[in-house]
Amino acid sequence: MNDANTPGSRIIGLGHHQPARIMTNDDLAAIVDTNDEWIRTRTGIRTRHIASEADTVTSMAIEAGRAAIADAGIDPAEIDQVFVASTSATDRAPYTAGRVAVALGLTAGPAPIDINTACSGFEYALALADQSIRLGSATTSLVIASEKISGLVDWTDRSTCVLIGDAAGAAVVQRSDTAEIGPVSWGSVPHLLEAVLVDGDPQRFSQEGRSIYRWAITEAEGHARRVVEKAGMTMEEIQVLAFHQANLRIIEPLAKALGGDTKFVITDVQESGNTSAASVPLGLSKAWAAGELPEGVPALLFGFGGGFAHAGQVVRTPVRRG
């Protein structure tokens, strides 16, 4: 047996990628019966980035991964594990993580792992990367979430097409002498198994918006508090809140219930729409790139959605290299 003696891991770099095309609420009003006021008051969304045909889950994952590696300032040959979380990936074999590893010239031949737990996929992948490093199966992981949900929506259905956006977000996670990624708290909600669907032929995204909203308003706070308890911390110590960016009408009350008035709260849904698994790393990376993300402080990550899976962990935000 390998004696697992690696204390833990930490995030040393962040990156993201969004397609060039920005779609406003007025742009949507030109194709379906909707309007800016309805979308903003129900969801908080003002704009979203929408992929062109050339933008794929894989191409966006490559760009986000490249940016995270540059941000971390490491030799790509150090990466011995690549995760890609996605619910919209179409490649079966080679799968997305394998294609990303080759495209990025990761010459160590890293373990390529695709996972799909929909909107909470990044938090699942981050947990598995941390556990792999703790157990000695990897030293440096590239953890990416990439989504092209625009390819899965019915653009004549106003109840879904106004909600989504395309993007990828990524983090480089490395072995550390101190544990800067806390234990994951994860699970699922059996009665909501089919509340968010990607099914049919052609495959289409649909959801029971009200059931999800009700769960998020009544149950998500308890799950988020359990994440912090698992990390052995108090909510007062948490300085950043990064929830799945489904809807501002969920993010704001959840943040308020958790003392968000004195914390940095990610609200990127307003600019990027709901990008499923990509939403948490995208929001973190955008704030990091803008110089707004507090450095070296405890951040609560919490994802939930399709499946109906949820997962979260407390991580220490990166610190800029000198």
196-199 and 166-176 strand pairing: unpaired
Whether the CB-CB separation of 277 and 120 falls below 8 Å is answered with yes
Residue 246 phi/psi, 5° resolution?
-85, -40
95 binds ligand ACO (CB under 6 A): no
What minimum distance in Å lies between the beta carbon of 197 and ligand ACO?
Answer: 10
User: Does residue 286 belong to the site contacting ligand ACO (CB under 6 A)?
Assistant: no
Catalytic residue among 49, 223, 247, 274, which?
A: 274
- Distance CA(126)–CA(281), nearest Å, equals 10
Q: Does 198 bind ligand ACO (CB under 6 A)?
A: no
Active-site choice (49, 119, 223, 310)? 119
Select from 61, 119, 198, 277 the one that contacts ligand ACO (CB under 6 A): 119
- DSSP strand E in the chain: where? 8-17, 22-24, 47-49, 81-85, 111-115, 140-148, 166-176, 185-188, 196-199, 204-207, 240-243, 264-265, 298-305, 309-316
Site membership for ligand ACO, residue 87 (CB under 6 A): no
- Window 4-33: residues binding ligand ACO (CB under 6 A): none
Q: Considering the rule CB under 6 A, would residue 41 count as an interface residue with ligand ACO?
A: no
CB 70 within 8 A of CB 14: no
DSSP 83: E
Within 51-80, the residues that bind ligand ACO by CB under 6 A are none
* Binding of residue 104 to ligand ACO (CB under 6 A): no
Give the residue numbers marked as catalytic.
119, 244, 274
In the complex, which residues of this chain contact ligand ACO (CB under 6 A)? 34, 38-39, 42-43, 119, 158-159, 162-163, 196, 207, 209-210, 212-213, 246-247, 249, 274, 304-305
